[in-house]
Structure 1
Amino acid sequence: MSLSGFLLRGGLVLAALGALLASPARAQSDEPGCRPEMASYRLPIQRAALAKDEVRLTFIGHATFVIETPGGVKAATDYNDYVRPPGIPDIATMNKAHSTHYSNRPDPGIKQLLRGWDPAGAGPARHDVTLGDMRVRNVPTNIRSYSGSTDFDGNSMFVFEIGDLCIAHLGHLHHPLEPGHLRALGRVDIVLFPVDGSYTLDQEGMLDVLKSLQAKVMIPMHFFGGGTLNRFLARSQDLWPIERRDSPEIVLSKATLPAKPTIIVLPGH
């Protein structure tokens, strides 16, 4: 190889390496195992229309789901700059516990951007909005601050009401639920809950939360690899049936909910 050819090849290699290191996909999060690469999932081009009593849930990854109504309204949970759903959601909820749960640059096309905390620090966030056939409201919770103290009303559980279904996303829940939280949540048919057991509530505490909610469908999220998820499932197997699905999408209706509470595991991306 000539000297000029050698230099040209070396330059290309260095350029490629520089592009890789500079890519936003290499950004680091303050939670382990949560990287922008998780947002690689693309929705199918052709998807069946939802019946009037159905809801489609898609697990994008980490704590982000897309919730879709029969009327075409889409909400993204814990919308952030690392794990992004495809397209622009109509509604986006956020929590501030870590940067993988909120966005500093949300898409301006989002119609309703709901922060689970009051940015002014004046008290709990209060949301109760209806867009098309979806109602979204929040139930404030406390979180641990970086100093180890309690950040009162620093996050929220978000409740999505579509037709006869009630879906609760527990967000970055750090503590057991008190009677007041349970009253505010109301009847929950589907619960999306974190299982990491360290950054959020410990796994035994989360089991108690699930027992108190008695939701018919329980979908785990916020797990860092299969080991964490499997530890939680091992603790749960004597309490509820466990179903593992091959698709990150699931369509549910009041009529198709299981007869007894069931954990349904969706593959993350």
Structure 2
Amino acid sequence: MTDSLFTQPLPQDRYRGKTDPVLQLEKINVTFDGFRALTDLSLSIGVGELRCVIGPNGAGKTTLMDVITGKTQPDNGRIFYDQTIDLRTLSPVEIARAGIGRKFQKPTVFEALTVLENLEIAQKNDKSVWHSLRAKLSGEQRDRINEVLHLLRLTDSSQRAAGLLSHGQKQFLEIGMLLVQEPHLLLLDEPAAGLTDAETEYIAELFRTLAGKHSLMVVEHDMGFVESIADHVTVLHQGQVLAEGSLRDVQANEQVIDVYLGR
């Protein structure tokens, strides 16, 4: 890697020893028409941590993200962000403004607008397209956007319509749209899906570098990618936490092998 970002000391070095949770879920239950999507799920993510969440299809990974971001209200249980903010009392917009950003499986960008305009809209407090494209950016905001363009290798495509980008570039752009908002916690749903080997390697390096400055929760099926980034892994199965710990511990867990990894 030649980018200066990756030659600097990793941000997580400055966060070692901090164990305060940025996110706590306690005994979360979610039922859809009698189907238990989550059952007594408890999870805690520390400040600056990079957590990977894995599990078979239907394990509850997407529902977990929906609960954290306010899209789905749990039947019961507690969800605290930054130790004191009760997420169950906030709307999805309020949760995003509090510092939780989410990237969905399929890139969600404004395809008719340029890469630069997508980042400008993400940066603004007033998210209406009409207002955002006419509002003035501060020098600090402009510098932040330029930094993110460079970070995600999109500088040369800044004036290109987002709809003309490759799938990988759209994935990078959506991550950039989160980063310009300076979230404390990033929720990333299958960020390596559809990427080339080179793009996957780069995004893994990026996530390892972001950890510390941000907390990250990555939902992913690509075990090679998980192995390249994970310090701590949570395995979900049938809406419950099946196992949790280091990747090595999880890979050696007999229950995980039986229901997910295979023999």
TM-score for the superposition, normalised by structure 1: 0.32
TM-score for the superposition, normalised by structure 2: 0.33
Say which structure is richer in strand.
1
Greater relative contact order (CA < 8 Å, ≥ 6 in sequence): 2
